[in-house]
Amino acid sequence: MTTGSTHAWDPNLYATHASFVPALGAPVLDLLAPRPGERILDLGCGDGVLTQKLVEAGASVVGIDPDKAMIAAALEKGLDARIGDARQLAFAQEFDAVFTNAALHWVGAPAQVTAGVARALKPGGRYVGEFGGHGNIAAIRTALRAVLKAHNYRVEPEETSYYPTAEAFRAVLEAGGFVVESCAIIPRPTPIPSGMSAWLNTFRGGFIDSAGVPPNKRAQIIEDVRSLLRPVLADPAGNWVADYVRIRFSARLPE
């Protein structure tokens, strides 16, 4: 979920409004195909929903995430979950596989993360995951930046999340010593059951705060973004679908 972001997560808010994130992780779990007895690192485990599925498959799993509240939620599930940063992995040839879902776009530093993953894996170990790819939530990001600028709030000149093309990420993996078995962009329009306001609060609250928006103005910013997006991301009945685009990949170290 998160692995290096400064965004502060609320596990209850996440479970209520972002449960679709781990629910849509089934294809990448299938791609990993965890086997009983394997030792697996879950990079950006969040509250441990997918970590738990790896454990149920019979694997021995360590989950890491920098967010204390999310780690607390994972520990409550009885998981081996530890506070950690994907950019500073301290493991050495310990894992048969590294798994990650919906996390790497928050982290950036792709070469640094890939090097740490390579060190953590045993020879022949595999690295499988999914995260935001080029064009991910483009309409939402554009609308949010436009509204913040219109209200004279600070906006970073460049995108703060890491959304590469498949070709760019494949090159990172290969430069890090991996043999890439698959790496592809997956367009995935995603229903947002709780609506766009809840999505913005959950996933872009930190970005809004970092722009200098005071707490008593946040609701207005979110409503303005919602109004701007409604013609393109909501149907006439008010059902929202976010313009998600993912990269799904599978790579392996040489034996």
Q: What is the pLDDT of residue 180?
A: 98
Cα(209)–Cα(212) distance, rounded to whole angstroms?
5
- Residues with pLDDT less than 70, the chain: 1-23
Model pLDDT, residue 1 = 44
pLDDT score recorded for residue 35:
95
pLDDT score at 125: 98
Q: Is the pTM of this model over 0.75?
A: yes
CB atoms within 10 A of CB 238: 9
pLDDT value for 26:
84
Asked if 44 and 1 touch (Cβ cutoff 8 Å), the reply is yes
Residue 110 contacts residue 133 (beta carbons within 8 Å): no
- pLDDT-above-70 percentage for the chain: 91
Class of domain 11-137+160-192+244-252: alpha beta
Task: Look at residue 6 in the predicted model and tell me its pLDDT.
Answer: 46
Enumerate the β-bridge partners of residue 252: 126, 179
Q: Which amino acid is at 218?
A: R
Task: Domain ranges for the chain, please list them.
Answer: 11-137+160-192+244-252
* Structural tokens at position 130: 């999914």
The Cα 95–Cα 91 span in angstroms is: 8
| Structure-block tokens of residue 144 | 């949010």
Give the model's pLDDT for residue 5: 44
Distances (CA, A) of 232 to 68, 73, 135, 199, 236: 36, 35, 15, 16, 10
